[in-house]
């Protein structure tokens, strides 16, 4: 089937698909319920493995599986609410969460599993548009389950042989997509884009001052880091954590599309040098958190080359778009970067957590972070110790994050992923056009580059006001939080809001759930109209 046909099928997906899913899973759930007459209230942890029997273990896990299958089913059912919001004090009071002195029976443990699912936000629901991480990819889920059951640690090949091989395959694939020679490059899987961004700052600082590892920061010049005012806060956090200090983060202005101003960047670098400071690092964003903007990588690469600065690209959010040939132009010049953050747990829809830090300088992370603990990273092992990746990281033990993304990528293939990404872009385009054409909506950013669609809902009573007046902005600022509060109470969907620069609170709809279809986009706007009409 061609890419276009695939795409069409995705876009025109039958909304009643869930009925078929329920029909197929109902007998399984029924069988799980009926075939299991065990009284779990009379059993406790001693009755299942590792101390108890295999049969009881299987029966217990079948029940857990049934609970999870029900959650999966509900997460894909448009008749189900996205959330049942309760205030934390009420929830805390109503739930039995205490750990007791004696054992809690397995019946209660099974109820606990159900309780957790029941009170969780259905982030896989096709009407969850709240965060960058959305959806519930079933193959990725299978990967997470297998990861859990093999419960190992990524630090050495010795205990994670197959995962170490898979990690290398995936890192090489991602490096090639960026346009690097895999022989020269390296990478790490991390628990989130913030940590990956921190690695970039560490790597750049170590390259400039390798003595920092032994001597610390004390004799270093004042290091300066550059990023845009719209970049993710994790870069300032990295500066705080690493002893650089947030005062030494130069926030560069952006143009009216939210893209870093290259001239201002260069002026700041020159001025800082003249003051005796030490500019060393520039972080650009490919897919900014709120507006979804892409900084001009090729132009900034020239500046970094000229002034000998490390160039990092935070593609935590936007990285998934590298999988679509059509969107490659957003990343023009990315191959010039020294490092890239790319989070499969965002646009690609891998289950949380899965972030990748990629670096063009092979061997640097090992030099920067290794402590060569002799109890773990023995130099005389019976295999090539290059395969032990743990000492490159700031952690000791590390979770296996690779299987859930590797499995889903294999299942979809490059073409399947390209379709998925294009499907998201087509939904975002529909949402943008709807916002333009509906009288009660106003867009924050014209012709958005990405799948963040930012808009105001403007109730009729505000529509006659002067848009530039303070009164209008003050009134408009109250609307999104009020609609959001009603939305949480109704539980019908979720979409986030925030102010930005001088712009009053606006909605930021994130389109990254492969299971959403055009009708969900229409529902979002209809629902906001319904909730906000009396405001």
Ligand X SMILES: Cc1ncc(COP(=O)(O)O)c(C=O)c1O
Site of interaction with ligand X (CB under 6 A): 132, 192-194, 197, 232, 234, 285, 288-289, 314, 316-317, 343, 355
Closest CB 353 distance from ligand X, rounded Å = 7
Closest CB 123 distance from ligand X, rounded Å = 14
C-alpha to C-alpha distance for 95 and 61, rounded to whole angstroms: 23
Cβ proximity to ligand X: between 288 and 449 the closer is 288
Closest CB 44 distance from ligand X, rounded Å = 38
Cβ proximity to ligand X: between 192 and 532 the closer is 192
Contact in structure between 351 and 345 (CB atoms under 8 Å): yes
Long-range contacts of 149-153 (CB under 8 A, 24+ apart): 150/400, 152/400, 153/390, 153/397, 153/398, 153/399, 153/400
Count of CB atoms within 10 A of residue 460's CB? 11
Closest CB 81 distance from ligand X, rounded Å = 25
How many CA within 13 A on the CB side of residue 468? 0
Cβ proximity to ligand X: between 289 and 434 the closer is 289
State which H helix or E strand residue 506 sits in: strand 503-510
Closest CB 79 distance from ligand X, rounded Å = 30
**Selection from 344, 329, 335 nearest residue 311 by Cα:** 335
Cβ proximity to ligand X: between 132 and 509 the closer is 132
C-alpha to C-alpha distance for 322 and 436, rounded to whole angstroms: 28
Cβ proximity to ligand X: between 132 and 265 the closer is 132
Count of CB atoms within 10 A of residue 100's CB? 8
Cβ proximity to ligand X: between 76 and 345 the closer is 345
Closest CB 100 distance from ligand X, rounded Å = 35
Please give the structure tokens belonging to residue 350: 């891998």
Cβ proximity to ligand X: between 445 and 476 the closer is 445
What lies within 8 Å, CB to CB, of 502 at 6+ separation is 473
Cβ proximity to ligand X: between 43 and 260 the closer is 260
Closest CB 133 distance from ligand X, rounded Å = 8
What are the CA-CA distances from residue 28 to residues 65, 66, 89, 118, 122 (Å)? 10, 8, 37, 20, 22
Closest CB 156 distance from ligand X, rounded Å = 25
**Selection from 147, 152, 56 nearest residue 109 by Cα:** 56
User: What is the secondary structure of 106-172 as a DSSP string?
Assistant: HHHHHHHHHHHHHTS--TTSTTEESSS-----HHHHHHHHHHHHH---TT-TTT-HHHHHHHHHHHH
C-alpha to C-alpha distance for 335 and 50, rounded to whole angstroms: 50
Closest-approach residue to ligand X (CB)? 193
What is the Cα Rg of the chain in Å?
Answer: 25
Closest CB 314 distance from ligand X, rounded Å = 5
Closest CB 290 distance from ligand X, rounded Å = 8
Closest CB 286 distance from ligand X, rounded Å = 8
State which H helix or E strand residue 282 sits in: strand 278-285
Cβ proximity to ligand X: between 140 and 197 the closer is 197
**Selection from 414, 281, 287, 268 nearest residue 343 by Cα:** 287
Cβ proximity to ligand X: between 348 and 525 the closer is 348
Cβ proximity to ligand X: between 48 and 340 the closer is 340
Please give the structure tokens belonging to residue 220: 């270093």
What lies within 8 Å, CB to CB, of 468 at 6+ separation is none
């Amino acid at each position: 089937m061609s890419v276009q046909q695939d795409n069409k099928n995705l876009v025109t997906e039958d909304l009643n698909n869930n009925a078929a899913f329920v029909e197929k899973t109902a007998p399984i759930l029924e069988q799980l319920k009926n075939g299991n007459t065990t009284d779990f209230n009379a059993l406790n942890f001693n009755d299942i493995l590792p101390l108890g029997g295999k049969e009881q273990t299987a029966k217990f896990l079948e029940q857990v599986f049934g609970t999870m299958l029900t959650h999966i089913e509900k997460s894909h059912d448009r008749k189900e609410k996205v959330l049942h919001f309760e205030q934390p004090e009420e929830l805390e009071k109503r739930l039995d969460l205490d750990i007791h002195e004696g054992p809690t029976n397995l019946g209660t443990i099974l109820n606990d599993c159900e309780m957790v699912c029941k009170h969780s936000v259905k982030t896989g629901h096709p009407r969850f548009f709240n965060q960058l991480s959305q959806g519930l990819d079933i193959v990725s889920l299978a990967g997470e389950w297998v990861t859990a059951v093999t419960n190992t640690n990524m630090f050495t090949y010795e205990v994670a042989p197959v995962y170490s091989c898979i990690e290398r395959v995936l890192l090489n694939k991602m490096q090639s997509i960026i346009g690097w020679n895999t022989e020269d490059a390296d990478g790490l899987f991390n628990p989130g884009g913030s940590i990956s961004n921190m690695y970039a700052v560490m790597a750049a600082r170590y390259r400039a001052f390798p003595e920092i590892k032994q001597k610390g920061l004390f004799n270093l010049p004042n290091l300066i880091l550059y990023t845009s005012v719209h970049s993710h806060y994790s870069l300032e956090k990295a500066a705080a954590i690493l002893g650089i200090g947030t005062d030494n983060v130069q926030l560069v202005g952006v143009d009216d599309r939210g893209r870093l101003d290259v001239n201002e960047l260069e002026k700041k670098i020159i001025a800082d040098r003249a003051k005796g400071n030490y500019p060393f690092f520039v972080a650009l964003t490919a897919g900014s958190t709120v507006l979804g903007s892409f900084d001009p990588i090729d132009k900034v690469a020239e500046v970094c080359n000229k002034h000998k600065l490390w160039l990092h690209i935070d593609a935590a959010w936007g990285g998934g778009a590298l999988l679509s040939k059509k969107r490659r132009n957003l990343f023009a010049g990315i191959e010039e970067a020294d490092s890239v953050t790319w989070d499969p747990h965002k646009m690609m829809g891998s289950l949380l957590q899965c972030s990748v830090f990629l670096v063009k300088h092979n061997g640097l992370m090992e030099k920067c972070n290794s402590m060569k603990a002799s109890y773990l990273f023995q130099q005389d092992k019976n295999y090539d110790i290059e395969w032990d990746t743990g000492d490159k990281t700031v952690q000791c033990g590390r979770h296996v994050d690779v299987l859930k993304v590797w499995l889903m990528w294999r299942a979809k293939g490059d073409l399947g992923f390209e379709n998925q990404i294009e499907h998201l872009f087509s939904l975002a385009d529909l949402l943008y056009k709807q916002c333009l054409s509906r009288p009660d909506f106003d867009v924050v950013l014209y012709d958005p580059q990405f799948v963040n669609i930012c808009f105001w809902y403007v109730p009729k009573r505000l529509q006659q006001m002067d848009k530039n007046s303070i009164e209008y902005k003050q009134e408009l600022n109250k609307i999104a939080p009020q609609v959001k509060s009603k939305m949480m109470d109704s539980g019908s969907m979720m979409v986030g809001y925030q102010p930005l620069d001088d712009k009053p609170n606006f909605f930021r709809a994130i389109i990254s759930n492969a299971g959403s279809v055009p009708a969900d986009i229409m529902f979002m706007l209809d629902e906001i109209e319904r909730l906000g009409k009396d405001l």
